A and B are shown apart, each in its own frame.
Chain A
Amino acid sequence: MTRVFVPRDAAALALGADAVAAALAPHATVVRTGSRGLFWLEPMIEVETPQGRTAYGPVEAADIPALLTSGVLTGGAHPKRLGRPEEIPFLARQTRLTFARCGVVDPLSPGDYEAQGGWAGLRRALEIGPAATLAEVTASGLRGRGGAGFPTGIKWKTTADAAGARKYVVCNADEGDSGTYADRMLLEGDPFALIEGMAIAAYAVGASAGYVYTRSEYPHAIATFDAALRIARDAGLLGRDVLGAGFAFDITQRVGAGAYICGEETSLLESLEGRRGQVRAKPPLPAHKGLFGMPTVVNNLITLATVPTILASGAQAYHDLGMGRSRGTMPIQLAGNLRFAGLFEAGFGLTLGELVHDIGGGTRSGRPVRAVQVGGPLGAYFPPALFDTRFDYESFAARDGMIGHGGVVVFDDTVDLARQARFAMEFCAAESCGKCTPCRIGSVRGQEVIDRVLAGTEVDANLELLRDLCETMRFGSLCALGGFIPYPVLSAMNHFPEDFRPSARAAAA
């Protein structure tokens, strides 16, 4: 029977992919894949034809009889026919390296993984040795994709050089930033890439055990990754003798429990050790004293999953992409009120305006774009006047923003930025670990001050107080939660001052 690929990504499931798969099952061999990340077209199905794959979408179960009549199984014409998936403009404009296989392969088929270039990176690492592997990652210019942007090669070198009875590789899959879903997509769509990336990291630094800390809000990702770990162990890809190279490494998945702060690396380590997820003061760096006091590499999931392609294709090929000090590609996650919201992996350097308008197609509501929050709940709100900002670490930092984990959340003109600023403080108060005073107390006071502004009480004095408070939090907090929550607040005040004025608020109401 003809093979038809139907996503099992959580977003596709939310849009009815299981019912589509069930309706197709009597007529075709249904293969479940991850998502290509074109969410306005999900569920997007792909039919295998002699000319390659033909995509249709968005498909509902109710469409299947008509699609079958139109000859869907041979790529027949139908209003929902999209043609070759690689030629859909949204995909054709991308450079998919980290996400090359996502949405293409059966995520739990080691055969698919290998046929699509899997294990080539680890094989090359084992061939060239740990020091050369490390040098390759350093030369690629890869930086931490969790948001901090720290050079991965330097982090690994520090861990490799540290003395310890044992070493760990920890993957941060606690993807808590609103507007981000790349970790989830990869866990659900190409989990072996993470396993391979972690094995390469372990080999380079001399670690024998790995942990993946996945957030509990991702039940489907957790299940897929657990299954992938079992398959990898059975196939000798993890365990005492990885790929028969005499190198021992295994991975355990741990599930978080709804604490945003556990995405902070030291808090994550505390949680892995079984304690409250409270931030640790640095130094010591995790690379010196990390999990259970041992030298530990803590990397974001996307960082680790990008390593195999760097090793397989060479550092130079990766370094050739991007701009400035931001090398390679970034899986940008277009989200919120956007027509064409989805995963867009491309070299650094696109402007925010290109992402929102040319690629994202403007708002889903059809109203004008008013603000874009980049980098999650700790990221700044940018107005259209700053849409010429290029998507790279330094360009956003230069405008008091950050790219974070690559989430881009678009708001139309109904957004109230004073409310968004209040939400930032409310979120920080709820998620603060409580260890340092600026974050624990400052976020509560911040809500109160914004409430007074919203009520029109001594607005100028309270806005000045709010700026002062943001200053204290920014420079006095122990970690990025309290330290960066001023970004959404200050950017809202600076770029959208009218939203904080009671006269303007009254006129709008």
Chain B
Amino acid sequence: MPSYEAWNEARAREIIARERDGEGTTLPILHALQAVFGCVPAQAVPLMAEALNLSRAELHGIVSFYHEFRRVPPGRHVLRLCRAEACQSVGADALGAHARARLDVDWHGTSADGAVTLEPVFCLGLCACGPAALLDGQPLARLDPAKLDAALEAAG
């Protein structure tokens, strides 16, 4: 189970300084921040903008362009459920509806108990054995509602 650190400016500066070496390192820095804080905290944007000599507006434009960067940390578990065509052909739409009903959230939402964040994903490269998902980075295949429920229960 992933655990994230609370906002800490010194820690953010350290990550930015560590990752900024090299060419065009905006994305590596953003990934490193999200790995530590669970999201790209709003407070990190001006620090990064300064380090990269970009305006805050430019950096906001970059962070918000990419689907994967979150504004707030996720729940204790992240379920990335594939919604793309190959998984659709074997029941992904129904599985997505089941997941949303079970967790009582829409896509990108976190269940009320903070246990699971449900994120849509368009292809995990597991197209020969769909419907597929990543639960906390672990691949799941040939899912149906019962198998998905079991995986979520095992995760706790």
A-side interface residues toward B, CB under 8 Å? 10-11, 13-15, 37, 39-40, 42, 175-181, 183-185, 216-221, 252, 254-260, 271-278, 292, 333-338, 341-343, 364-365, 373, 377, 407, 409-412, 415, 420, 423, 427, 431, 433
B22 touches A341 (CB 8 A): no
Contact with A along B53-90 (1 / 0, CB 8 A): 00000000110011111000000000010001111111
B10 within 8 A of A: no
Let me know if B128 and A334 touch, CB within 8 A.
Answer: yes
Query: Which B residues form the contact surface with A (CB < 8 A)?
Result: 22-28, 30-31, 52, 61-62, 65-69, 80, 84-90, 121-130, 132, 134, 137-142
Residues of A within 8 A of B52 (CB): 274
Complex Cα spacing A398 to B109, Å: 44
* Cβ distance A223 to chain B, nearest Cβ, rounded Å: 10
Q: How far is the CB of A213 from chain B (nearest CB, A)?
A: 10
Q: A257-B30, A258-B68 are in contact. Are A423 and B126 (CB under 8 A)?
A: no
B30 and A178 contacting across the interface, CB-CB below 8 Å: no
B123/A177 in contact, CB under 8 A: yes
Contact between chains at A409 and B139 (CB < 8 Å): no
B24 lies within 8 A of A258 (CB): no
A276 to B69, CA, bound (A): 13
On whether the beta carbons of B126 and A181 are closer than 8 Å, the reply is yes
Also in contact, A427 and B122, with CB within 8 A (given A15-B141, A407-B127): yes
Min C-beta distance of B147 to chain A, whole Å = 11
With A271-B27, A274-B26, A410-B89 already in contact, the answer to whether A377 and B84 are too (CB < 8 A) is yes
- Given A219-B137, A336-B90, A423-B85, A257:B127 Cβ within 8 A: no
- Asked if A257 contacts B142 (CB within 8 A), the reply is no
Residue in A175, A411, A415, A427 whose beta carbon sits within 8 Å of that of B125 in the complex: A175
On whether the beta carbons of B127 and A335 are closer than 8 Å, the reply is yes
B interface: dominant SS: loop
Closest to B120 in A: A430
Q: What are the residues of chain A within 8 A of B88 when measuring CB–CB?
A: 420, 423
Q: Whole-angstrom distance between the alpha carbons of A427 and B88 in the complex?
A: 13
Bound state CA distance, A470 and B129, in angstroms?
Answer: 32
Output the least CB separation between A408 and chain B (Å). Answer: 9
B26: nearest chain-A partner, CB-CB = A274
Q: Is the CB of A42 within 8 A of B129?
A: yes
Interface contact A14-B85, CB-CB below 8 Å: no
Q: Is the interface of A mostly helix, strand, loop or mixed?
A: mixed
| Inter-subunit contact A407/B67 (CB<8 Å) | no
B123 touches A336 (CB 8 A): no
Query: Which residues of B have CB within 8 Å of A176?
Result: 122-123
Q: Are A335 and B84 in contact (CB under 8 A)?
A: no
Name which residue of chain B comes closest to A177, CB basis: B123
Q: Sample 9 A-B pairs with CB under 8 A, ordered by A number.
A: A14-B140, A178-B123, A335-B128, A377-B85, A409-B86, A409-B89, A420-B85, A427-B122, A431-B122
Q: Which residue of B lies closest to A333 (CB)?
A: B127
Q: Least Cβ distance of B143 to chain A in Å?
A: 9
B52, B65, B80, B127 — most chain A CB neighbours (10 Å): B127
Find out whether the CB atom of A336 lies under 8 angstroms from the CB atom of B140. no
Assuming the contacts A219-B137, A257-B31, asked whether A180 and B125 have C-beta atoms less than 8 A apart, the reply is: yes
Q: Who on chain A is nearest to B54 by CB?
A: A274
Which single member of B31, B90, B134 contacts A255 (CB below 8 Å)? B31
Compute how far the CA of A10 lies from the CA of B28 in the bound complex, rounded to whole angstroms.
Answer: 23
Q: Provided the pairs A252-B22, A258-B67, A275-B26 are in contact, do residues A179 and B86 lie with their beta carbons within 8 angstroms?
A: yes
Q: Which residue of B30, B65, B88 has the most chain A CB atoms within 10 A of its CB atom? A: B65
Contact across chains for B61 and A11 when beta carbons are under 8 A apart: no
Min CB gap B136→A, angstroms:
10
Cβ-defined contact, B139 with A220, below 8 A:
yes
Q: Kindly report which residue of chain B lies nearest to residue A187, judged by CB atoms.
A: B125
In angstroms, Cα B80 to Cα A221, docked, is: 17
Query: Which residues of the other chain, B, contact A431 by a CB distance below 8 angstroms?
Result: 122
Q: Which residues of B contact A333 (CB under 8 A)?
A: 127-128
Q: Is the CB of A14 within 8 A of B126?
A: yes
CB–CB A277/B66 < 8 A = yes
Closest CB of chain A to B40's CB: distance in Å?
Answer: 10
**Other-chain contact of A260, B25, B89, B90, B122 (Cβ < 8 Å):** B122
A276 engages B62 (CB within 8 Å): yes
Of all chain A residues, the one with the shortest Cβ separation from B126 is A11
A377 / chain B contacts, CB cutoff of 8 Å: 84-85, 122
The answer to whether B86 touches A257 (Cβ under 8 A) is: no
Complex interface: chain B residues within 8 A of A255 (CB)? 27-28, 31
